[in-house]
Amino acid sequence: MILEEMTMGEFESGLKSTKTVLVPFGSVEEHGYHLPLSTDTIQAYEVGKAAAKTIPLFVAPPVHYGCCRSTSCHPGTISISTNTLQNLMKDIVRSLYLHGLRNFIILTGHAGGTHRMALVNAGEELVAELLDIKLAVLTEYDLAYSEGKEMIETTGDSHAGEIETSRIMYLYPDLVKGTGQREFPNFPPGIIVRNKRKFWANGVWGDPTKATPDKGRRINELVVRKLVEFIDTLDRFSES
């Protein structure tokens, strides 16, 4: 059940079959010269929509903005503060709660550490405030990496590399502009640098030359299956 496509009456009817909602969080962030700025958002949202075809599940419209520190100097990246991100998540969950939702999966396609921690912190506040909810924060990329590790050829592959390029080649091939080159960042350990692009010129963390649409399809299907399994686990979870 895709919220942005539903009528008020369809939403009311949907509540009879589930109280679970997935909220995709992404980013507007560089992904090399070959992938779209919306890569993180696309992956999280498409996985959610695919899961909703398998089980009763509300899928909220994606949040397109995230906290992006390592890529903040790269053209096209639009970053928001952790406070803004946390408040946005809390407001969305509270509003959905008022309309009857009780189980919340925050699925982030952006895997930045500061971004993820902000979402977890917001989740901690929400479970202390709304005592009858269940809430989980999942990183979509972690699912893709763990589920697809048998077919991934690049050790340490991450941002705009083999995995993400394969998935966008499968999901939205028209948005892939050429082929990026193998690259890994070279940030000095422990030093907070101002000009981050100096140490990560092209914004790729991995090897996109090893990407294929078939890998993307297989990884995506594995992530969807894992997400469906997790949603079932959350629905049945009880602390009592």
Q: How many domains does the chain have?
A: 1
Task: Write the pLDDT tens digit of every residue in 42-90.
Answer: 999 999 999 999 999 999 999 999 999 999 999 999 999 999 999 999 9
Low-confidence ranges of the chain (pLDDT < 50): none
Q: Which tokens belong to 93?
A: 């969950």
Asked if residue 239 is part of any domain, the answer here is no
In this prediction, residue 198 carries a pLDDT of 95
Whole-number Å distance between alpha carbons of 112 and 114 = 6
What is the Cα 55 distance to its own chain's centre? 19
Q: What is the CATH number of the domain that holds 121?
A: 3.40.50.10310
Return d(Cα 10, Cα 91) in angstroms, integer.
23
Mapped onto helix, strand or coil, the DSSP state of residue 5 is helix
| Residue 146 pLDDT | 77
For residue 37, CA distances in Å to 29, 30, 122, 125, 200 come to: 5, 5, 25, 30, 17
pTM of the entire predicted model: 0.94
Convert the pLDDT of each residue in 19-30 to its tens digit. Answer: 999 999 999 999
Does residue 52 fall inside a structural domain? Answer: yes
- Residue 5 included in any domain: no
pLDDT of residue 33: 97
Residue 2 lies in a domain: no
CA-based radius of gyration for the chain: 18
Evaluate whether residue 11 is within a structural domain.
no
What pLDDT is attached to residue 44? Answer: 97
Task: Give the integer Cα–Cα distance in Å for 231 and 164.
Answer: 23
Element (H, E) at 21: strand 20-25
**Residues of the domain holding 59:** 17-233
**Tally of residues, the chain:** 240
- Residue 22's nearest CA partner among 38, 1, 39 is 1
pLDDT at 141: 81
What pLDDT score does 212 carry? 97
Selection from 23, 33, 58, 53 nearest residue 136 by Cα = 23
Q: Is residue 6 part of a domain?
A: no
Q: Would residue 238 count as lying in a domain?
A: no
Q: How far is CA 123 from the centre of its chain?
A: 16
Residue 12 lies in a domain: no
